[in-house]
């Protein structure tokens, strides 16, 4: 079977050619126009001498240019490497070296962050080079960095098969699934798996119109929802919380049929307040970059349970395992283990730590299944901190802090935040005879880490608690 994820766009353009595909400020494209723009982008990449398999950095905010560049990269048989636009120049340099990228597409001020790599603006490459035949579905399509841009980089390898399987799974949901009559808000960052494939990818597969917004702003976002008659609203939990402050919320939300959240923990009390204010139930999902990203959702359930993240998507298998990998009894908690065509191919470049020989992948998250098969999340085996839906690995921040003058030891944990779901808190131990100015340390971190990774609070302590094996006992810090 030959297949390229961008073929899905071609099919949608044939079915819904003259229907609206993308809205970006004053710019609008129909599906036929988008398909033609993607062809031009793909031919431009090919004419520039890029051959299938080459990696291309995407450093763009949400825009029509992001969509045409991304799908053009895939159509040309190249590998898209979308990066968080908040990364620093040094973090981007680390990713460029790790990925072996041959080109970057960036616009405006973002281009100045890229050093030592040929950088073009979206649409700048033109040409009429023929595109090679379609790809094996197992061919690599996207590298999504999940961690370690200042420590050890970690990029999930997503194939064309995995991307397509995720949108197929979503498209097989019940009455809550997206359709061509839908108008979807595209404010979740497209460099994140949720925005890239559970919003953009799903819209491309169904022919739903996507209203693009670069960043969430409660006033501007509500105006867009009202102006365009948005029917589907995928947002991160902190955005929902911010909307609650708006007195005109219920009226602005009148056309919305589905509110869906994911990417970070949902406070059910906040979701209940949102439902009381708008009359709209907040559906929740659970996913991870390595699953492209969908695993479970409450969409399609007539009476979702409070606190549940729903049931596995169609074609996704899920079980709860103990430390030996055996199924746990009843509704005891254990590690969430998943299997499905939407899973990644391991981590770049050697496909390490991917699904096992039977196709099962250990997620590192802890949860339990109730008698009805609904999943409830309990904790993380990994110490991942999720800030506004973005992954922050404590070791990455700790490595920066311990290089600061006067710091002997550092430990980082996640703390609850109304604005971002979780935030980074650091504990630092000064070197003997030294003193640490927390404001100066925050400024030091701010020049070396993306803003969302920086500690919002730094506590200076005499010592850190350690376990018998010498590891910092972070459970005691959390207490």
Domain with CATH 3.30.300.30 in the chain: 385-478
Among 3.40.50.300, 3.30.300.30, 3.30.470.10, 3.40.30.110, name the CATH number for the domain at 385-478. Answer: 3.30.300.30
Domain with CATH 3.40.50.12780 in the chain: 7-215
- Residue count of the chain: 479
Beta bridge mates, 261: 235, 284
- Quick one: which H or E segment has residue 365? strand 361-369
Contact of 374 with 305, CB cutoff 8 Å: yes
- Quick one: which H or E segment has residue 386? strand 385-387
Q: Report the topology of domain 7-215.
A: Rossmann fold (3.40.50)
| Cβ-Cβ contacts under 8 Å for 181 (sequence gap 6 or more) | 208, 231
Which of 419, 409, 429, 430 has its CA nearest to residue 456?
419
Contact of 100 with 81, CB cutoff 8 Å: no
CATH code assigned to 283-380: 2.30.38.10
Q: Which two tokens stand for residue 327?
A: 């199924």
- Residue 217 to residues 163, 330, 362: CA-CA distances in angstroms? 29, 44, 36
What sign does the CA torsion over 21, 23, 26, 27 have? negative
Domain with CATH 2.30.38.10 in the chain: 283-380
pLDDT tens, residue order, the chain (479 aa): 568 999 999 999 999 999 999 999 999 999 999 999 999 999 999 999 999 999 999 999 999 999 999 999 999 999 999 999 999 999 999 999 999 999 999 998 999 999 999 999 999 999 988 888 777 999 999 999 986 444 578 999 999 999 999 999 999 998 889 999 999 999 999 999 999 999 999 999 999 999 999 999 999 999 999 999 999 999 988 889 899 999 999 999 999 999 999 866 677 888 999 999 999 999 999 999 999 999 999 998 888 998 899 999 999 999 999 988 999 988 888 899 999 999 999 999 999 999 999 999 999 888 999 999 999 988 666 678 889 988 888 888 998 999 999 999 999 999 999 889 999 999 999 999 999 999 999 999 999 999 999 999 999 999 999 755 456 888 788 87
| Cβ-Cβ contacts under 8 Å for 35 (sequence gap 6 or more) | 9, 10, 12, 13, 17
């Amino acid at each position: 079977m030959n297949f390229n994820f961008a073929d899905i766009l071609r099919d949608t353009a044939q079915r819904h050619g003259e229907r609206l595909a993308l809205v970006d400020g004053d710019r609008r494209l129909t599906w036929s126009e988008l398909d033609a723009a993607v062809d031009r982008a793909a031919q431009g990449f090919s004419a520039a001498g890029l051959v299938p398999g080459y990696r291309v950095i995407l450093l763009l905010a949400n825009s029509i240019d992001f969509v045409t560049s991304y799908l053009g990269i895939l159509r040309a048989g190249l590998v898209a490497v979308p990066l968080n636009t908040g990364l620093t120049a040094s973090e981007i340099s680390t990713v460029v070296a790790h990925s072996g990228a041959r080109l970057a597409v960036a616009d405006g001020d973002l281009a100045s962050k890229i050093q030592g790599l040929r950088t073009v603006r979206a649409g700048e490459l033109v040409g009429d080079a023929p595109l090679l035949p379609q790809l094996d579905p197992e061919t690599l399509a996207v590298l999504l960095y999940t961690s370690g841009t200042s420590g050890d980089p970690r990029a999930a390898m997503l194939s064309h098969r995995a991307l397509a399987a995720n949108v197929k799974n979503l498209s097989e949901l019940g009455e809550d699934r997206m359709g061509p009559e839908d108008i979807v808000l595209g404010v979740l960052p497209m460099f994140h798996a949720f925005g890239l494939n559970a919003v953009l990818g799903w819209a491309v597969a169904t022919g739903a119109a996507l209203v693009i917004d670069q960043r969430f702003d409660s006033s501007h976002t509500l105006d867009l929802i009202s102006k365009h008659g948005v029917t589907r609203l995928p947002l991160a939990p902190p955005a929902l919380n911010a909307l609650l402050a708006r007195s005109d919320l219920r009226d602005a939300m009148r056309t919305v049929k589905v509110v869906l959240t994911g990417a970070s923990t949902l406070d059910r009390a906040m979701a209940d307040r949102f439902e009381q204010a708008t009359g709209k139930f907040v559906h929740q999902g659970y996913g991870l970059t390595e699953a492209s990203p969908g695993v479970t959702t409450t969409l399609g359930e007539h009476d979702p349970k409070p606190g549940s993240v729903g049931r596995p998507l169609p074609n996704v298998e899920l079980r709860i395992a103990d430390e030996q990998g055996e199924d746990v009894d009843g509704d005891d908690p254990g590690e969430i283990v998943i299997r499905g065509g939407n899973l990644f191919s391991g981590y770049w470049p050697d496909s390490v730590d991917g699904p096992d020989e039977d196709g099962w992948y250990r997620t590192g998250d802890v949860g339990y299944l109730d008698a009805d098969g609904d999943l409830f999340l309990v904790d993380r085996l990994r110490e991942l901190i999720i800030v506004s839906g973005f992954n922050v690995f404590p070791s990455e921040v700790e490595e920066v802090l311990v290089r600061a003058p006067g710091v002997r030891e550092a430990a980082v944990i996640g703390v609850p935040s109304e604005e971002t779901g979780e935030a980074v808190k650091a504990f630092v131990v000064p070197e003997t005879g030294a003193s640490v100015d927390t404001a100066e340390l925050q400024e030091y971190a701010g020049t070396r880490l993306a803003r969302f990774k920086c500690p919002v609070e730094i506590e200076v302590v005499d010592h850190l608690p350690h376990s018998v094996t010498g590891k910092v006992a972070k459970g005691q810090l959390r207490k």
